[in-house]
Amino acid sequence: SYDKSSSPVVVTADYHTKFSGDASKCICSYASGLLFFPDMFISGEGMICSPITGQQYKSLPYVTIHRYSRGFLGFDPIDKQFKVLAEGDIFAGEGALPKILTLETGELSWRSKTDCPRYCRCRCEAICIDGVLYYLADNVRDLPRVLVCFDS
């Protein structure tokens, strides 16, 4: 039960990272202590930061994606690498395959993932379990939604 006579809890806000531009539609993805803001792609780049320290780790290289496409962050526990998935656009042909970016030292570049099942688009946030991304997506043929398991 709640005791009204007890002292109130005081919470203070602390701002670690500031975003430029319109961040009103920012959706983030989480993996192993880092946050990924894929909707920053609209401004030309996604961003990864630590919510604990506020440190911005990476400004990701530009990637051409469909305006409704999503991006996700995952962590591969075997290779100990963070990876970013940018959804493709099934209506844009072969040039719009899903793209993968492995975060490592040196120059970062996107690579296409050619063996992905075709689906319209993701409908929810992804969760990364043991290096595999799982998310719900619309099926291409208007059938029931599908659970996509993405292991890069």
Label the pairing between strands 29-31 and 146-150. Answer: unpaired
Residue extents of the structural domains in the chain: 29-116
When comparing pLDDT for 8 and 50, which is higher?
50
Number of H-type helices and E-type strands within the chain: 0, 12
Both tokens of 31, joined, read 């993996």
**Quick one: pLDDT at residue 42?**
46
Q: Which residues pair with 36 in a beta bridge?
A: 29, 48
**Quick one: pLDDT at residue 130?**
85
**Taking 80 as the threshold, does the pLDDT of residue 10 lie above it?**
no
CA-based nearest residue to 115, from 88, 142, 133: 88
| pLDDT over 70, % of the chain | 54
pLDDT tens-place string over residues 55-101: 776 667 777 666 666 778 888 888 888 888 887 665 555 556 778 88
Mean pLDDT, residues 116-127 taken together: 67
**Quick one: pLDDT at residue 22?**
54
